[in-house]
């Protein structure tokens, strides 16, 4: 049974989430503040966390930052804040996904399942295959319709940074750090140029990408 920790100080939301999750055979823990959430994570080790950003003691970002210092449990952030800055900050601190309130229960449950699947399948080198191309992460090799696709080292680094986080929104700053180094954080035009190159080489229709998705103002996502 998959266990979920619901962290929110709104009783109505906690009740709704608990009922829906238990009806789908999840084991549910609840916490109404950040410190309790951290204690529950240490003691119960849930499989995934639903974390509200607006908590009465610690901020959700502070909880996430503390949690990431000792755990890689998948975290889906819930928040009534619609600004992209809040989303980017949460993702920079290690959130796996972000859902804005009010949310549809079906969408939230799908995001929850995806976060758990990504966590379970995150280890190893492996091969990633889509309908359009195939990637061998160990050999650092890309093939399209059976033919090898030449990628520059920078193109491969950017592609790999996304592919190793399947389905997850990776913030622009994180990608710049991963590919170009910690001195880079605002050169978002680098990402636009190299993503365009990757799409030309891998996407069936680069103008309408199916696999290398842009989240405007926030980052990019690889969808297999």
Span 94-103, mean pLDDT?
Answer: 84
pLDDT at 39: 95
Which CA distances in Å does 94 have to 2, 76, 82, 168? Answer: 21, 10, 19, 11
Give the architecture-level CATH label for domain 127-222: Orthogonal Bundle (1.10)
Q: What's the CATH fold of domain 3-120?
A: Rossmann fold (3.40.50)
Nearest to 34 by CA among 12, 5, 11, 71: 5
| Domain chopping of the chain, boundaries | 3-120, 127-222
Span 87-106, mean pLDDT?
Answer: 83
Omega of the bond leading into 102 within 30 degrees of 0 (cis): yes
Which CA distances in Å does 125 have to 70, 72, 153? Answer: 24, 19, 17
pLDDT at 184: 78
pLDDT at 119: 67
Give the separation between CA 142 and CA 201, rounded to whole angstroms: 10
Residue whose token pair is 């389905």: 167
Q: Which of 81-85, 98-102, 109-113 is predicted least confidently? A: 81-85
Is the predicted pLDDT of residue 23 greater than 90, yes or no?
A: yes
pLDDT at 124: 47
pTM: 0.60
């Amino acid at each position: 049974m998959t266990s979920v920790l619901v962290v929110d100080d709104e009783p109505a939301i906690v009740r709704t989430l608990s009922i829906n999750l238990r009806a789908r055979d999840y084991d549910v823990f609840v916490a109404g503040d950040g410190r309790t959430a951290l204690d529950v994570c240490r003691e119960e080790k849930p499989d995934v966390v639903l974390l509200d950003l607006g908590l009465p003691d610690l901020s959700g970002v502070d909880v996430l930052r503390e949690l990431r210092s000792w755990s890689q449990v998948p975290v889906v952030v819930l928040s009534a804040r619609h600004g992209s800055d809040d989303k980017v900050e949460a993702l920079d601190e290690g959130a796996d996904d972000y859902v804005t309130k009010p949310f549809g229960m079906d969408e939230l449950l799908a995001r929850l399942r995806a976060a758990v699947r990504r966590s379970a399948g995150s280890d190893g080198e492996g091969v990633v295959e889509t309908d359009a191309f195939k990637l061998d992460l160990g050999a650092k090799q890309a093939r399209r319709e059976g033919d090898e696709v030449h990628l520059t080292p920078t193109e491969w680094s950017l592609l790999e940074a996304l592919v190793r986080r399947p389905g997850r929104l990776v913030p622009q700053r994180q990608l710049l750090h991963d590919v170009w180094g910690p001195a880079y954080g605002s050169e978002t035009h680098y990402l636009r140029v190299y993503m365009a190159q990757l799409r030309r080489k891998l996407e069936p229709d680069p103008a309408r990408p199916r696999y290398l998705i842009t989240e405007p103002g926030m980052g990019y996502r690889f969808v297999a």
